[in-house]
Amino acid sequence: MRFMVEMTVNLPPGDHSALLAREREYSQRLQRDGRWEHLWRVAGRYANVSIFNVGTPDELHELVSGLPLFPYMDIRVTALAAHPSAIATEEER
């Protein structure tokens, strides 16, 4: 199941270098194992749009709530479905 996840980060002032390092490690691990397929920065904002490919909505919730920055995020999730006019392989659908 693919989901578009829009994340906006609202960190309070301060040094967050250790927190950001943990966030990078966690997110890159999910990208390497294929569950976090795409990660795009939203220009001009501390925000991203991501595509996750997971088995269930519960798995997505577990992954997203495990992000070290999760307590500082506003998150919007949209379930995605294959478009009949899209040029894509069966694996991408």
CATH number of 2-80: 3.50.50.60, 3.40.50.1950, 3.30.70.1060, 3.40.630.40? 3.30.70.1060
Report which of 56, 58, 47, 49 is spatially closest to residue 11, judged by C-alpha positions: 47
pLDDT in tens, 21-78: 999 999 999 999 999 999 999 999 999 999 999 999 999 999 999 999 999 999 999 9
Q: Is the entire prediction scored with pTM above 0.85?
A: yes
Report which of 17, 92, 78 is spatially closest to residue 49, judged by C-alpha positions: 78
Task: Sketch the domain layout of the chain as residue ranges.
Answer: 2-80
